[in-house]
Structure 1
Amino acid sequence: MRSLCLSLLTGLILLQNAVADEKTTDALSSFQVKPGFRIELVASEPLLRDPVALAFDENGRMFVVEYPEYNQQFAKDKQPVTGSIRMLEDTDDDGRYDKSTVYVSDLAAPSAVACYNGGLFVAAAPDLLFCKDTNGDGKADTREVVFTGLRRLENRTDPSLNTLLWGLDNRFHACTSYSGAEVRAVKHPDERPRSIGNRGFLFDPRTLRFDLTSGGGQHGLAIDDWGQEFLCNNSSPVKMLMYDDRYLARNPYLKAPAPAVEITEGGKHTQLFRISPEEYWRQERTRLRNEGKFRGSNEGGKSSGFFTAATGVTIYRGDAWPAEYRGSVFVGEPANNLVFRGKLEPKGVGLVAKRADAGREFLASTDTSFRPVQFANGPDGNLYVIDMNRDLIEGAMFLPPELLKKVNVTGGDRRGRIYRIVRDDFQQPKLPRLGEATTAELVKLLAHRNGWHRDTAARLLYERQDRSAVPALKRLAAEAEYPVTRMTALHVLDGLDALDEASLLRALKDNEPQVRVHALRLAEARVKTSTALRDRLLAMGDDPSLRVRYQLAFSLGELVSSPERNQVFAELTVRDGSDQWMELALLSSLAKGAGSVFEALARQKDYRQWKQGARFLIALARQTGAAGQQQETEAVLKSLLAWSDTERQQQEAALLALLAAQPEKTRRAFLTSHQQTLKPILGRILEESRAEALNTKLPLKQRLTAIERLGFAPFREVQEVFSELLEPQQVNPVQVSAMLTLSDFQDEQIAKLLISRWAKMTPALRTKAAEVLLSRAAWSGALIDAIEAGTIGRGDLSPARVELLKQHPDKTLASRVSKLYADRALARRDEVVQQYQESLKRNGAVPQGKAVFKKVCSACHRLEGVGTAVGADLKAIRDRGKAGVLLHILDPNREVKPQYMSYTLVLESGQVLSGMIANESVNSITVRKPDGTETTVLRINIEEIRSSGLSFMPEGLEKQIDKAAMADLLSYLMSLQAGQETSR
């Protein structure tokens, strides 16, 4: 009997192996890979399913994130599934994983994993967890929430936190996608939650504190050997982070462009060489877009062959491939079943990613289920490809409803493969078990050519905090042949709190520019206490490397303003200031001293008459004005007054930049104290501006510039001009510009002027005028007076504006509005929704529905060329279905997305801004107001910011839309035709 059982067992094993071999052959035969390489299957179902990320621990075990929930919310028969982390082991060292254990189970939407201290950090919104197996059974028995507050977007498939990577700075780095969440460190309850909207996330695994840095990616983060970071979005294959926004944080007066810049030569429209057949639904979706029946760009009528699902950007850092491949950037394009390779080349202070494989892709498959979503550099020096192997990789929300019914959105949810790409002559090496390595052995591994070995050794040294490593690390930093090793050793020393001045001074003179770059960064925390380091930085202004000078421009900001420092800034500006990123770096370091640098540069007549020089001087003047430091401001003014008449245009531009950036009260005081000095220049400017603003024969742009300049005059001197500019005969842009300029004044006569013109204004202009009046409490009171008196109709204020006014910071004003609009008391939402259910059963008329939209909704939404794009984009609203749309209209506060929540900002000047937060950075916030305009303000000028907790869309629209009109509106919204949206 025992012999029979053994025979049956042996037969079963042989059968399983035969099936696996057949499956492997079928899968591998579908691929075309770059000549000189081959692709190997190292793990597949049933060992794993739905893989989206992986990490290797120090002993070569592979931990795989499984995400079976993907698209499950759109399935016809929704299943209660959760994700997990699988531990895969290669028990016979042949390179193929043959043992699988569920290490962590029951995870909600897991998206990333990283190994640390014998356990795992796991991203699973809303938490980042630390899980560890403490009893050796292969399953995590501890599960601790480390950070919480991450958010998973409704109906979206993009994880809010993904791609956890170890960085040179002894921190884990992550991409935050579109989370916009308020995250807090659980171990530090005294620290306030912090918004991670559009920013990167990094944390110290020892202290469990986190920091924010530059970001702006969707799914994927790459770090190269030198610590440069790259991101990607669906339609943006390779984005390079140009700066760390901690440099912006130290200069609150600086507004900056987004740090993530697309560097792929062709961007989204890079030609892709797909070899798989196009899916039927993909062709149909393109046809519907071409015919204007579904949202999204039709991409010139093509349904594939371009980036629409770029993901998993990764830099190859291994040692098993030919040397020319090291540093290549790889991007998965799962919608096209291929892997793109780019070659990174220098371009200014940045890089450009050029197609590396002419006329083909590095890897492509004929199998439409091949979905390369992520990559990893392996211990063996090869690149690993994570294939989710789904029938549908697109978020189901991006398919037209009529096609969605025909697609199995979760097809393949029990499949999953992990491949590795190897050289044709690759032979499996015996991999080291770094967990058993001594500290001395770990230090030696920093010289390894495989980035995985260096990263893992550096992480383990940071975990152990064994200071016996210090002498050997110092020798490596000074003498290692491999430049990356010298640089890495510096960071490891820093992680052990053992980085000394001598090592830094030596590194600042290293013959490899990138080592000097990192030495500059590491010196920043020490220059204020080290004269030697300070002097060395001041001597590096003539460094031959542009990349070093770029970093120097940032790092010098850590020095106290001094003539020596400012002279180096001036030299860098003359040499490199025409580069926009160098200009940003210089300005970031000049929270103090901008005026002095302006003075030094302005002495050079050739420089100030050079186009790029004049531009930088204007930027310096603007920053000096914003900082409001009297000595610096006086320095700029003194320099300007010395310029000749031939430089009148540059002089005026710089002076106006200085004045415009000053806080309002500061500017008025400055103009008063320098009235006689500035009279010749300002008098000339204002006289010309009065004439140009009213001259209808001049180009519109010239008139608008003139109107803006009138804001520097006392209001009493230009009141008549503005009165004429608000006459109905003036074109709309002129009237709007006049109103915006008036909002910068404080004079009470402005409210009287706008209210006196109200009857002559169009509805659109009344919306603009209302925004001006509501920007100051005194003017708001005058507006409410006019409404109470009947001079202005109550209906002239939109419901959204009324609701915001009810929460105005001025409680007296808020109370008056509440009483004035008391008859708009809102019924219970559930009752209203129930009353309007009959609208769902009626067949509404589309033309009438469009008219309802124009009358009621167009103040905040834009469709088919009608309305103002303030609130949510409605082009895809039919995907919600009629019932969902009705619920959203009648009960907008039932579920409010953070990006559509209303906020009120009170500025130091007394102005009040209300609207949605359209964008934010470390230094500034952009508010989108009800009239559709956007205003960006520096955080330093914000006195108070608070959320209403309510949707920007008001409740109570049933007061304006009866049940028949609602049926018409729903019919119109359900008939919506194409919009412009890029999606998977």
Structure 2
Amino acid sequence: MKYRWLAIIPALFLNTTFNVATLSAQTEHDPNQAVPSLSVAPGLQATLFASEPKISSPSSMDVDSQGRVWICEVVNYRANLRGIPTRKEGDRILILEDTDADGKADKITVFYQGNEINGSQGICVLGNKVIVAASPNVFLFTDENNDGKADKKELLFKVAGGEHDHSAHTSIFGPDGKLYWNFGNTGKQVFDRDGKPILESDGRPVLDNGKPYWGGMVFRCNLDGSDFEVLGHNFRNNYEITVDSFGTLWQSDNDDDGNRGVRINYVMEYGNYGYLDQLTGARWKTPRTGMHEEIPLRHWHLRDPGVVPNLLQTGAGSPTGICVYEGSLLPKKYQGEIIHSDAGPNVVRAYPVEKEGAGYKAEIANIITSEKDKWFRPSDVCVAPDGSLFVADWYDPGVGGHRIGDQERGRIFRIAPPNTKYQFDKLDLSTIEGAIAGIKSPNLATRYLAWNKLHDLQEQAEPQLEVLYQTDNQRNRARALWLLAGIKGKSNQYVERAIKDENPDIRITGLRAGRRYKLDVIPYVKHLVKDPSPQVRRECAIALHHNQSSSAPELWVTLADQYDGKDRWYLEALGVGMDEQESKFMSAWLKQAGDNWDTPVGRDLLWRSKIPLAVPYLVKIIENPDTKLATLPRYFRALDFIPGKEKNTAVAELALMKEPGNKTRETYIIAEAISRMPANVVTQDKKYQHALAQVIDSSRGTPEFTKLVEKFKASDYYPELVALASQSGKSQAAVDAIRAALSLKQNALIRKSLQEKADTEKEQNQKLDLIWALGSAGHNGANAILLKIIKDNQEPLVDRREAVRAIAKTRSGAHALLDLAEKGSFAPQLKQTAAAAMSSTIMKDVKERAAKLFPAPPTKDNKPLPPINVLAGMKGDTLDGRVMFNTKGTCAKCHVVNGMGKEVGPNLSEIGKKLSREALFESILYPSAGISHNYESYTLILESGNVVNGLLVNKTDDAITIKDAEAISRTFKMDDVDEIIQQKISLMPADLQKVLTQEELVNIVEYLTTLKKAKKNEKASR
């Protein structure tokens, strides 16, 4: 659900450290221990509002105007994947009510139950209407007689991508009367209730295909689904959007598992948030010029032009529900702030925000945590009519990620100052005064009802709204403004008044209201274009988005002239403003800048523009000797975003650059330029051949060497390529080099290298490494070379054994090996090596055939394992577990822990914050029960007949990259791929216990539970 990380471990071999403070005794999971297990911030008290057996597994929640708590139970969440019992009648939507004001739910009503809402991920209560997101559907339920039962069910939207945690999420009512919602990166496309594609106002479909949108998106529309807008895109799994009274949007986003890159975003309207490469759709691991060294930052393509910054990165986690607290009951530090639940690290946090330039900065303030009970999984957070905070707790050993560990438990907590009763005035919509009181409520459901009442009253409510607008509470003023601007015939009057207000937040709200009511914003922007607040000027830039007014370029130039050359938020707002009119706006700016364009401001604007017009200027910046070497990558990266012959001509010019006195800088520029040129242009023109040789010579010892030799077919360097494969150890560099050599048809050169006499231990090891690389390359050309070694009795046995292990890595190679065994021409001394190599394969046809020829040995101690709950209650030896973890060839084989291990599956250095002891055992013994998103196994069937298995690293229209269980990535042209098959099982073996005794298994898990946080200076594996 919101917690895609929970299946982190099953994704391959378990090679990470978990630090989970677990509960082993059943009594510790008793609801009576729920509150004592929590740590609550000073000035607040947690009370238990509801728990099992009344409720179980609440995934999402809302609180209505009557103070009733609505929850989506997800007992059936992915139950069919694990064969565990399901609720045949389907999941439920429940209404929990406290009828006697004692702070506990004593009345429970089943609003709706059915299998079509299994695994629901969002609920929004709007009077007698309830919106429920149960991917691939977004339903609208109506209680026509107000008896707490759904009388009508309609389809509001349908989302492509099927049932998935990264799909449709919850809705929220905005202060402007609009509906806001989102989907994650499996949503793909939105359709209306009739199955027709939803189109934006410009006729563009809401579609994840890079034209222009990628990945997860944020939407705004009318409550009937009309007037649909995409407000932000390129998120991974953005769970829930929230909107404050000024109309500012906030949400969280989930990183790829194990990369400590969870983020909180201020959603600048129409922004791109950088999960996928804007050009190709590639994920963050794909190398690109100028990318961050630190994975959490590299993860979001933050150095690419057109990517909006993150408000805050919170490390490892599984972000879930979010809200803005606009009440007064909680202590001052939480008032007006974002409050967010993160199920992974078992915490509910506030993020106090401060304005910084055109954007914001934030810090973390924990509200509730649980170190004692790691089953505490806060899945949602909402504000009640009295201003108290309600927190839904899914309560599970490891929630989400296509798994559920407990179907019986679940809790709802209320957070308020100590001894605060749950009581408040009832909403009275029979009078305007009552509606005004409702619009001031901290509860969204109450404000929804009051907003609609006041909006319907139009001018009748104007005097009272005017009074509210003149109060000191700025959020109430903003709510009044949205309604005043919605009075027919008076929109312009109130917007003009608001943009002259002394409070910049009200000026911003006024400008947004002008856009909301489709007024001509140009006069407002003209008034605000030199506003002292960069936040107001940010909104002016956004207001120019796709505005075709003849005044727009001039206004944009005025805004651009006030950019300080440092504020990335401001720069990206300017980018949003000039979207689809970049040439027009930049031409106007360059005209007024004249010869003074080469300033920090000018460089940033050109870098951000991504248009052919910028090419000659970017070239001049690169050629300028005053441009620091460290900044050159960003300008070459900017060139990557510019299509057309202008860019191609420019890089060709840079490839011949000469800069006397600065050889390092010159070499870098030529290398970057040459790498961007077509191979035929370089190899057929003598003036580039010298430059190419210079670049290749200077790239020795780097990954670029292999890429350049292969791309340009630089035959003079082929021997070095093969030497690199043998001298780089068991590494990515070795595999890349040998694969390039095979692709260049240098089999004879490879054989020659293997036939050279190995007189020293170093030479012998290099020969073994070369054989290993051949097997890891996944290239059909390697099979003949390896088979020759295997069949040659004159070859050293150590080489033949390594060749057996190498050839068994591919389907074609494994079957060739089995053919030898069936024919009886397989050397007896190689049989055990073959049996061991075949025992860990995930290729079903190979495994079945190998089982007959090379029967697997029995389990280590021939003893069956007890049930998981029994194993979880056993105490292990931490030290022995650590040794087993790192020396058994099991865990550290495929996962990185604190910088050590192989980066095949997710980095698990902080998994201990997320998974209980039970979940750890389950992940080892049943790895395919929950495979983390983005760690599914794939099989490529190549045109050559070869088969490659592994994780999908990247896929574009032109190429696909697969990483195998050795952490080796191989890229194939799509033209060479016949079929791509997603496997239904994890790469992690399902019979791992066969190499462990029960005691060893328990010890490993004991060790995992102690690993709670990554070392501070951990370097990411590459």
- Note whether the superposition's TM-score is higher than 0.5: yes
Residues 131 and 589 of structure 1: is their aligned pair in 2 closer, same or farther, counting only changes over 3 Å? farther
Matched residue, 2:455: 438
Matched residue, 1:131: 141
Residues 393 and 894 of structure 1: is their aligned pair in 2 closer, same or farther, counting only changes over 3 Å? closer
Deviation at 1:536, TM superposition (A): 1.7
Q: What's the TM-score once normalised by structure 2's chain length?
A: 0.62
Question: Per the alignment, in what secondary structure is the counterpart of residue 104 of structure 1?
Answer: strand
Distance 1:53 1:493 in 2: 33
Match of 1:245 among 269, 272, 284: 272
Distance 1:570 1:878 in 2: 66
Matched residue, 1:768: 773
Deviation at 1:113, TM superposition (A): 1.4
Matched residue, 1:165: 172
Deviation at 1:796, TM superposition (A): 5.5
Matched residue, 1:416: 412
Distance 2:986 2:420 in 1: 60
Report whether the alignment pairs 1:901 with 2:937: yes
Residues 684 and 184 of structure 1: is their aligned pair in 2 closer, same or farther, counting only changes over 3 Å? closer
The worse-fitting range, judged by mean Cα deviation, of 743-752 and 39-48 is 39-48
Distance 1:680 1:125 in 2: 57
Q: CA RMSD in A?
A: 6.5
Distance 1:69 1:850 in 2: 36
Matched residue, 2:390: 386
The answer to whether the 8 Å contact 1:344/1:353 transfers is yes
Deviations 1:15-55 (A, max 9, x none): xxxxxxxx99x9899997655xx769796689984665444
Which ranges in structure 2 are unaligned for 5 or more consecutive residues? 1-30, 198-205, 283-287, 292-297, 303-308, 426-433, 439-449, 757-765, 792-799, 816-840, 866-879, 1015-1022
Report whether the alignment pairs 1:715 with 2:714: yes
Deviation at 1:675, TM superposition (A): 2.9
The answer to whether the 8 Å contact 1:126/1:149 transfers is yes
Matched residue, 2:580: 558
Match of 1:165, as an amino acid?
I
Deviation at 1:434, TM superposition (A): 3.1
The answer to whether the 8 Å contact 1:310/1:334 transfers is yes
Report whether the alignment pairs 1:932 with 2:938: no
- Report how many residues are paired: 828
Question: Per the alignment, in what secondary structure is the counterpart of residue 596 of structure 1?
Answer: helix
Match of 2:745 among 732, 749, 755: 749
The worse-fitting range, judged by mean Cα deviation, of 748-757 and 642-651 is 748-757
Q: What's the TM-score once normalised by structure 1's chain length?
A: 0.64
Matched residue, 1:617: 635
Question: Per the alignment, in what secondary structure is the counterpart of residue 644 of structure 1?
Answer: coil
Distance 1:117 1:946 in 2: 50
Deviations 1:668-712 (A, max 9, x none): 133146532x455444444556xxx4xxxxxxxx56666666567
Residues 70 and 800 of structure 1: is their aligned pair in 2 closer, same or farther, counting only changes over 3 Å? same
Matched residue, 1:575: 600
Question: Per the alignment, in what secondary structure is the counterpart of residue 646 of structure 2?
Answer: helix
Match of 2:637, as an amino acid?
A
Matched residue, 1:316: 325
Deviation at 1:533, TM superposition (A): 0.6
Match of 2:670 among 655, 670, 690: 655
Deviation at 1:973, TM superposition (A): 6.0
Match of 1:659, as an amino acid?
I
Question: Per the alignment, in what secondary structure is the counterpart of residue 810 of structure 2?
Answer: helix
The answer to whether the 8 Å contact 2:330/2:416 transfers is no
Deviation at 1:496, TM superposition (A): 4.7
Match of 2:111 among 103, 107, 117: 103
Matched residue, 1:502: 523
Deviation at 1:148, TM superposition (A): 4.8
Residues 785 and 223 of structure 1: is their aligned pair in 2 closer, same or farther, counting only changes over 3 Å? same
Residues 437 and 484 of structure 1: is their aligned pair in 2 closer, same or farther, counting only changes over 3 Å? same
Distance 2:947 2:327 in 1: 55
Distance 1:362 1:743 in 2: 53
Matched residue, 2:811: 802
Report whether the alignment pairs 1:732 with 2:747: no
The worse-fitting range, judged by mean Cα deviation, of 363-372 and 965-974 is 363-372
Report whether the alignment pairs 1:542 with 2:561: yes
Question: Per the alignment, in what secondary structure is the counterpart of residue 531 of structure 1?
Answer: coil
Deviation at 1:119, TM superposition (A): 1.8
Matched residue, 2:75: 69
Question: Per the alignment, in what secondary structure is the counterpart of residue 559 of structure 2?
Answer: coil
The answer to whether the 8 Å contact 1:84/1:110 transfers is no
Deviation at 1:652, TM superposition (A): 1.8
Distance 2:335 2:932 in 1: 46
Match of 1:64, as an amino acid?
W
Distance 1:873 1:34 in 2: 34
Deviations 1:772-816 (A, max 9, x none): 563xxxxx4x4456578788899566666317999xxxxxxxxxx
Residues 236 and 868 of structure 1: is their aligned pair in 2 closer, same or farther, counting only changes over 3 Å? closer
Match of 1:916, as an amino acid?
L
The answer to whether the 8 Å contact 1:238/1:264 transfers is yes
Match of 1:902, as an amino acid?
Y
The answer to whether the 8 Å contact 1:43/1:418 transfers is yes
Deviation at 1:535, TM superposition (A): 2.3
Matched residue, 2:398: 395
Matched residue, 2:93: 85
Residues 713 and 899 of structure 1: is their aligned pair in 2 closer, same or farther, counting only changes over 3 Å? closer
Matched residue, 1:595: 615
Report whether the alignment pairs 1:629 with 2:630: no
Matched residue, 2:540: 519
The answer to whether the 8 Å contact 1:755/1:783 transfers is no
Matched residue, 2:431: none
Question: Per the alignment, in what secondary structure is the counterpart of residue 749 of structure 1?
Answer: coil
Residues 437 and 638 of structure 1: is their aligned pair in 2 closer, same or farther, counting only changes over 3 Å? same
Residues 573 and 32 of structure 1: is their aligned pair in 2 closer, same or farther, counting only changes over 3 Å? farther
Report whether the alignment pairs 1:330 with 2:339: yes
Distance 1:745 1:174 in 2: 50
Match of 2:862 among 830, 834, 842: 842
Residues 438 and 841 of structure 1: is their aligned pair in 2 closer, same or farther, counting only changes over 3 Å? same
Deviation at 1:532, TM superposition (A): 1.2
Residues 42 and 520 of structure 1: is their aligned pair in 2 closer, same or farther, counting only changes over 3 Å? farther
What is the 5 A alignment of 1:815-964? 825=845, 842-843=862-863, 870=904, 899-902=935-938, 904=940, 915-918=950-953, 927-929=962-964, 931-934=966-969, 947-951=980-984
What is the 5 A alignment of 1:264-283? none
Deviation at 1:902, TM superposition (A): 0.6
Matched residue, 2:680: 669
Distance 2:159 2:128 in 1: 22
Which ranges in structure 1 are unaligned for 5 or more consecutive residues? 1-22, 269-306, 694-701, 775-779, 807-820
Matched residue, 2:193: 187
Residues 756 and 872 of structure 1: is their aligned pair in 2 closer, same or farther, counting only changes over 3 Å? farther
The answer to whether the 8 Å contact 2:940/2:980 transfers is yes
The answer to whether the 8 Å contact 2:557/2:589 transfers is no
Distance 2:35 2:1001 in 1: 44
Residues 207 and 112 of structure 1: is their aligned pair in 2 closer, same or farther, counting only changes over 3 Å? closer
Residues 886 and 724 of structure 1: is their aligned pair in 2 closer, same or farther, counting only changes over 3 Å? closer
The answer to whether the 8 Å contact 1:170/1:495 transfers is no
Deviation at 1:348, TM superposition (A): 7.4
Deviations 1:78-112 (A, max 9, x none): 87786543457899999999986543334423332
